[in-house]
Structure 1
């Protein structure tokens, strides 16, 4: 069963949300912001234009590089540089009078160069529409049309362009992340970065709802057609929260075309799965209104098999097994309301409101057996677990942005908001077939209140080569809950259950987390650039259980330095780049991981917090290299190391008292402990190459060596080699038809007391664009061979356990999308094909 995962995720939702929710003001700036001229921004003219693809449709070229050099033969130095926005527009301010050469560079397109003259006293130079033709390379008799690089390294982060690359598209944000190097998504929807699920996932700087615990918009409800880029920061700068293995920021498209724009979609999956969605925006004058709805009504089947041999205190060995068949029914409704308003040319105000409701029911029928090793007698019991989870979330925020036209790059941002969470979680376990009453009923209620505020300020240096960023935030969280446990009084399953005061409790806690940071970055001579920063974070956590000594009181303040150094080795920016980075990171245990109370998963397993649990700190180092070759090929290699102190892991032991009293066999307790130090060393590589004009292949993989030096009970020193690999083939057999075949595999990895076995899968997607790109029809089959499964093995002196969990991952999806207004289906895209998975917490 996975209910304790979902319950713990909900009980800790505030803590998991608190760190990323305040990052909305810290999210990277939008594309199109240009590097200030080395001259004062108040001098000279502003050059502006729009870069588009040559052709009838003239699609905008986002993220293209703009270079302005002096035209004199004796002096061709760089005067200004920048990058196009999502709509292809750019502006270079502060250009003095003179003659220049302007170059527009976009990977996969032929460079465009043109002469530009700025007259004395001229304020603006309008360059109009600049059309770039696709680059081509001859391979025998085949012409290969170049495409934009899939992976680009920038200072402190890796940017994956997914807007026009089929290898990064599978229908939803979940599929996009599955295709991102160093990122893995398991069968239950949990996202991990280099093997760690303790990370921050943002959507335009706002927290995302995933199986990792965030209560924001669910990733499988966000169409891939709305995503422009994914930013992966394994060593984030001091500007970002220090918690987790890294930050993944999903950047969506920003549509400011006049009138109504957007899309409506309906996706139907095999075995009762339905997902409607609507996304609309209206831009008029200074205001942009946004309205969106995402819904789902889906059913999923589950299968779990667990077997274990336990050695009790008297050396008796008991063999137990448990098998369950379950059905989950997930219903979700999310409404998105937003307004962006330009107060002046330099000031913008944005407000948003997002109510979310989720209702999940689950029925799981179980067979439980028990046998003393050496005895022929087998005891069999039958159980049924019923759950009814209802979650209500209301998120609201207001954002303010102030820029200075006379001082390009100078910026002040501020944001404030609140997240309100309310949940009701009744769970019952009915056990029959024993000689004494067994089973339980548990009623849980949770209420969380999160409030946050933050301000950030950016100040470029006078010469335009440096930038100072600083900011502060404060967030508070109050979480209160109640758990009532009821136990049977007779063997009759219809008999009344009585309250068990010993396992019923009411808890509350408050957490305050202030933070402040400062970073400075600068472009140096000979292609060098550097960035350094320092962040300080405080954690003040206080809470406990009413009428009980069980409590948590933790206060600590920590410093988190970060640094990045990069060198451009090629003639053009991003062509050949070498980069080194370092960051100190934190894994902050949440309240429920520290509160010593019992939360039952099923009659034989429960989880309990550890009041002595310490925060986990790590030192992270990376050395990366990227090269972009002719013909659209790109190769990226990264060597990384992570050194972790007081590593937090789950540890399982036998509860002798519960085993004796519960009449269901061996009862195990799972808790959290600081197991010692862990060291990981690894290599990541990505490669993308167009083989023909209709076939593109991309591959990525990682291999890393992990060492665990344990000091916790029932854990041992161990080491292992692990890795992941992915291969995608993308075909365009004819105009308007796109096909994608993707295979992934993850090797066996270490856990605190055992290992998680290897798994993998194969996905197939086909999309046909219709009605002159006004609509699209998509067919997708996830986990084509039905091989995605979670298998764990545990081995300690007292426990030998094997766990098998199979979620319904092979699903056929048929989706239809209609594009509204100026929106149209893009070539080389597969949209509206949700991944399998769903429900609260996954």
Structure 2
């Protein structure tokens, strides 16, 4: 007979009948899920006959629930207290993330305790005799794994699209219909607090100085460019996205704005499975295959996905510069066609060495191939008189691949007491090359140019962590970590005649960069919870950084530096409302694209060059927030402040050698202050229909040094208010049908020398689940009313620039998914892994 797991009945059990009458409510005062992004599951639908007006006393029953095989905590198991004589349930609760549970105000009498959780056999603790005023500690209660075969799993309740946890906000991307067939950037655009522009550059509360992790782990490709990395991850592989605005001392000190953790789908079943996801659209197509096998102590997973896209774009550029007292005006237009092929693939192993020891290993490979064909027409005017017309056809290739290898060990001594050792090696190879043909008025090639830019980024990390509970309401954590990085960049600029015979010895300019960065760090963290629902988490982290750098002719002097990074998080729960206050200090090291001194001359009127002498930013963050559940409505509101010194800012100025050109680089020249608010709400109109949306509003102040009209340095500042928002709704209909709509808007972004244009996006999607729940077919459309026009400006006493980007991003896509295999529920093993959160990502100038 088929076994059905009806989560809706469980939620009704833990959310209404039981906890409405329990004095403690859910652990930690959280009204949804388990505090870690997982639903509250039960092995079977319980029958709850709660005695009316059950007598209350002053005794307490406590204990820990663990897995008997590995002695790790069984998080959020359901606990029911039965009157032994009547067999009626008189009280109940849920174990916390450490497996601990507590029943208070228990009256004298004889009872039995029934503990249930999905994947485990029910456990009954009998003959519990409570005496008036005396507490009972049941100690460690072990649950055995259930090996019952599941022919079919029917889910009758839906996890919320967005959940607000104790220390993070979780966006459950697997519930998103319209993002299927896209990439990670399409998913992140819908996450509250985040903004993702059309190039894939991510910002959190107005700052792009953030750290992005994949399954709690870093990758060298992310260190090079977040935008590149997001294009490698198909949206179908993403389970959820976690936004951590106030990281504790346990996290690396880097990422001044916070941390984004992308959780990919993992198998928690025993047996053999295979998932297929595919899609086709007028802008892109995708294909993904993911399989897993688990038997006994060994688990193996293998899979990945790829995405191809094709799109048109158009740009225009108007800029004026002051050259030797003359005004040079540049008017440029360009048509572009983009082709891209991206993918990410993985192979993972986990092995249970013994009951309390586990070993995990994995290899992840990512690839990104982006090719752009662009035709420029450039008119140069001197004092309003046309001076020249230039035609330029450019083929750009941005090619990269990355590999991440990890090996992790964890040993559990008792519930919540564990020691782990984690290692990871990452390597990425990047090539940013272009070939340009210069044409005359008759469109014949007169000369050719080529830029070769090869980069290698390597990183090795080793860390060890230990945590132990103190009594029942305290936790102590300590750890040390070492990160060893090596960046190598080699670039050259070649010229040739119309035949394209490039002389290998003509390298002008040419150069290289060898950059080594070593970081040694250690942290202490302490958590204390009180009976009246205050939680305090304090910690400090110290990081010491040494850097060696040299170019083709000399060593670059960058002194070593040390940073002490404290963090304080306080929360208080009042019924269904939780208040939080947080402070932390963060640092932001420059990323590869900001360090790379290569001259990018694909467009000689708009040049970008890195700066290998950059030093880190230092930021102080403050945050106050409140969240509450009011019947069917969930609300979250926060105010925040951020103050950054030695800020890394983009600085543009006229070229000394190319007439009419603007050169942009990066400098530690700025001070940045930002104050704002975020408001987010979710309304469950019916169990099958929900609407959520949010508003972001912040004030930004920037101050830094730029070049004045006389070429000398001068102090300037810029201020502005930035507003953004999102609105989303999803409906589950009968017969497996679902509908989802999404819209997003971001206003003008303030920069030191101007503004970055506003933009908006919207989408509508439909999905039909097959009757056996093993597959689905969907149709989604994006920006179907037309493309977008984004207008950005830069200005200073020496120049003015206006750029317009026309993005033709209308899209219609058909998606398909199917799952096959035998399923047997097992516990998802607890693992520890490397978490590097410390490099400022470069910015991409590519559209898709």
Query: Counterpart of 1:242 in 2: which secondary structure?
Result: coil
Deviation at 1:252, TM superposition (A): 3.6
Q: Indicate if the aligned counterparts of 2:438 and 2:447 stay in contact, CA closer than 8 A.
A: yes
Write the distance in 2 (CA, Å) between the matches of 1:153 and 1:78.
30
2:818 is aligned to 818
Q: Return the match for 1:366 from 351, 376, 379.
A: 376
Listed as ranges, the matches of 1:74-85 within 5 Å are 74-75=57-58, 79=62
1:440 is aligned to 449
Q: Indicate if the aligned counterparts of 1:487 and 1:498 stay in contact, CA closer than 8 A.
A: no
Deviation at 1:274, TM superposition (A): 2.6
Q: Indicate if the aligned counterparts of 1:582 and 1:621 stay in contact, CA closer than 8 A.
A: yes
Deviations 1:99-157 (A, max 9, x none): 98323599xxxxxx99743446987486999xxxxxxxxxxxxxxx9865555444433
CA change 1:611–1:563 in 2 (3 A) is same
Listed as ranges, the matches of 1:670-749 within 5 Å are 670-713=664-707, 716-749=716-749
Deviation at 1:580, TM superposition (A): 0.1
1:410 is aligned to 417
2:478 is aligned to 470
Query: Counterpart of 1:646 in 2: which secondary structure?
Result: strand
Write the distance in 2 (CA, Å) between the matches of 1:308 and 1:265.
46
Tell me if 1:256 matches 2:246: no
Q: Which runs of 5 or more residues in structure 1 are unaligned?
A: 1-51, 54-58, 107-112, 130-144, 660-664, 825-836
Query: Counterpart of 1:343 in 2: which secondary structure?
Result: strand
Q: Return the match for 1:556 from 540, 561, 565.
A: 561
Tell me if 1:513 matches 2:519: yes
2:348 is aligned to 338
Write the distance in 2 (CA, Å) between the matches of 1:176 and 1:63.
30
1:532 is aligned to 538
Deviation at 1:218, TM superposition (A): 4.7
Write the distance in 2 (CA, Å) between the matches of 1:342 and 1:716.
60
2:22 is aligned to none
CA change 1:536–1:148 in 2 (3 A) is same
1:101 is aligned to 91
1:156 is aligned to 167
Q: Indicate if the aligned counterparts of 2:77 and 2:94 stay in contact, CA closer than 8 A.
A: no
Deviation at 1:627, TM superposition (A): 0.2
1:231 is aligned to 242
Deviation at 1:288, TM superposition (A): 1.2
Write the distance in 2 (CA, Å) between the matches of 1:323 and 1:840.
16
Write the distance in 2 (CA, Å) between the matches of 1:168 and 1:105.
35
1:11 is aligned to none
Write the distance in 2 (CA, Å) between the matches of 1:76 and 1:158.
36
Q: Return the match for 1:242 from 253, 256, 262.
A: 253
Q: Indicate if the aligned counterparts of 1:191 and 1:210 stay in contact, CA closer than 8 A.
A: no
Write the distance in 2 (CA, Å) between the matches of 1:429 and 1:365.
10
2:319 is aligned to 308
Q: Return the match for 1:285 from 281, 296, 313.
A: 296
Write the distance in 1 (CA, Å) between the matches of 2:566 and 2:783.
42
Deviation at 1:533, TM superposition (A): 0.6
Tell me if 1:655 matches 2:663: no
CA change 1:264–1:592 in 2 (3 A) is closer
2:16 is aligned to none
CA change 1:538–1:207 in 2 (3 A) is same
CA change 1:101–1:166 in 2 (3 A) is farther
2:464 is aligned to 455
Q: Return the match for 1:422 from 423, 429, 432.
A: 429
Q: Indicate if the aligned counterparts of 1:159 and 1:231 stay in contact, CA closer than 8 A.
A: yes
Moved more, 479-488 or 347-356: 479-488
Moved more, 226-235 or 315-324: 226-235
Tell me if 1:503 matches 2:514: no
1:801 is aligned to 801
Runs of 4+ with >6 A deviation: 81-84, 97-100, 120-123, 125-129, 165-171, 208-212, 434-438, 837-842
Deviation at 1:585, TM superposition (A): 1.0
Q: Indicate if the aligned counterparts of 2:179 and 2:235 stay in contact, CA closer than 8 A.
A: no
Listed as ranges, the matches of 1:339-354 within 5 Å are 339-354=349-364
Query: Counterpart of 1:593 in 2: which secondary structure?
Result: helix
Q: Indicate if the aligned counterparts of 1:63 and 1:88 stay in contact, CA closer than 8 A.
A: no
Q: Which runs of 5 or more residues in structure 2 are unaligned?
A: 1-31, 68-72, 97-102, 114-124, 129-137, 147-155, 709-714, 825-842
Deviations 1:61-118 (A, max 9, x none): 3599x9x9xx97222657469999xx9974599x9x9998323599xxxxxx997434
TM-score for the superposition, normalised by structure 1: 0.78
CA change 1:185–1:62 in 2 (3 A) is farther
Q: Indicate if the aligned counterparts of 1:760 and 1:787 stay in contact, CA closer than 8 A.
A: no
Query: Counterpart of 2:300 in 1: which secondary structure?
Result: strand
Deviation at 1:685, TM superposition (A): 0.6
Query: Counterpart of 1:735 in 2: which secondary structure?
Result: helix
2:625 is aligned to 624
Write the distance in 2 (CA, Å) between the matches of 1:449 and 1:611.
17
CA change 1:357–1:647 in 2 (3 A) is closer
Deviation at 1:499, TM superposition (A): 4.5
Q: Return the match for 2:40 from 31, 39, 61.
A: 61
Query: Counterpart of 1:362 in 2: which secondary structure?
Result: strand
2:152 is aligned to none
Write the distance in 2 (CA, Å) between the matches of 1:479 and 1:326.
31
Write the distance in 2 (CA, Å) between the matches of 1:556 and 1:102.
53
CA change 1:839–1:811 in 2 (3 A) is farther
Deviation at 1:686, TM superposition (A): 0.6
Q: Return the match for 1:184 from 187, 190, 195.
A: 195
Moved more, 158-167 or 324-333: 158-167
TM-score for the superposition, normalised by structure 2: 0.78
1:777 is aligned to 777
1:766 is aligned to 766
Query: Counterpart of 1:599 in 2: which secondary structure?
Result: coil
2:3 is aligned to none
Deviation at 1:430, TM superposition (A): 2.1
Deviation at 1:590, TM superposition (A): 3.6
Write the distance in 2 (CA, Å) between the matches of 1:154 and 1:76.
30
1:194 is aligned to 205
Q: Indicate if the aligned counterparts of 2:112 and 2:126 stay in contact, CA closer than 8 A.
A: no
CA change 1:212–1:481 in 2 (3 A) is closer
CA change 1:598–1:218 in 2 (3 A) is closer
Q: Indicate if the aligned counterparts of 2:232 and 2:342 stay in contact, CA closer than 8 A.
A: no
1:669 is aligned to 663
Deviations 1:370-429 (A, max 9, x none): 112332x3521100111334433222111111112xx21011121112122234443122
CA change 1:655–1:495 in 2 (3 A) is same
Deviations 1:167-209 (A, max 9, x none): 9989654343222111111112222211222211122112368
Q: CA RMSD in A?
A: 3.9
Q: Indicate if the aligned counterparts of 1:263 and 1:823 stay in contact, CA closer than 8 A.
A: no
2:131 is aligned to none
Listed as ranges, the matches of 1:474-489 within 5 Å are 474-488=482-496
2:405 is aligned to 396
CA change 1:809–1:472 in 2 (3 A) is farther
Deviation at 1:841, TM superposition (A): 9.7
Deviation at 1:322, TM superposition (A): 1.8
Q: Indicate if the aligned counterparts of 1:167 and 1:730 stay in contact, CA closer than 8 A.
A: no
Deviation at 1:332, TM superposition (A): 3.2
Deviations 1:483-523 (A, max 9, x none): 121124x5x46565674444112331211111111111110
Query: Counterpart of 2:558 in 1: which secondary structure?
Result: strand
1:12 is aligned to none
Write the distance in 2 (CA, Å) between the matches of 1:279 and 1:525.
45
